[in-house]
Amino acid sequence: MKTRGCARECMTLQQLANDDNGNDSDTATSSNNDNETADDNGGTSAASGMVTASNTIVAPGAHIDFNGRNFGHEESVVVTMGGTTVATAHADGGGNFSTGSITIPMTTGSQTYTFTGQNSGTSATVTIIVQ
């Protein structure tokens, strides 16, 4: 199995998936869900939604912005970390949103943020490293 290089330092496992015949396909998948795709900014998505972070490696207490696309039109998007809601955003008529500045907790290590569209059910995750 081949691995895909990252333009930036990636925080999710990325690999080329095999199709039903054992051939390499062009879909990059993360290790946590067969229906998710991974990008070079630490983001993954289910269905057609995608979220990216302004930075994937940040200092404790820093601020970060998340941008999403392909969510439901004019829907609320809830942002959670560890099951706790940390922010909400509003997707526009094109399904795009920005969270604005979110303060990162002081705890170091890997932190995964989940973004869920309240009408469409579209869900995506972004993992960042706090160091």
Rg value, the chain, Cα: 15
| Domain housing 81 | 42-130
* Residue 77 falls inside a structural domain: yes
For residues 124 and 112, is the Cβ–Cβ distance under 8 A? no
Asked, for residue 20, whether it belongs to a domain, the answer is no
CATH of the domain at 64: 2.60.40.1930
Has residue 61 been placed in a domain?
A: yes
Total domains in the chain come to 1
Q: What pLDDT digit, counting tens, does each position of 36-91 carry?
A: 444 444 554 445 789 999 999 999 999 999 999 999 999 999 999 999 999 999 99
What mean pLDDT do residues 92-108 have? Answer: 96
Q: Which comes out higher in pLDDT, residue 104 or 29? A: 104
Nearest to 13 by CA among 118, 112, 116, 114: 112
- Mean pLDDT computed over 109-123: 96
Indicate the pLDDT class of residue 111, thresholds 50, 70 and 90.
Answer: very high
Is 29 part of a structural domain of the chain?
A: no
Exposure class string for 93-118: b at 16+ Cβ within 10 A, else e: eebebebeebebeeeeeebbbbbbbe
Domain assignment present for residue 30? The answer is no
Residue 90 resides in a domain: yes
Q: What angle do CA 115, 44, 35 make, to 5 degrees?
A: 105
pLDDT averaged over the chain? 74
Q: What distance in Å separates the CA atoms of residue 90 and residue 76, rounded to the nearest whole number? A: 5
Predicted pLDDT at 48 = 73
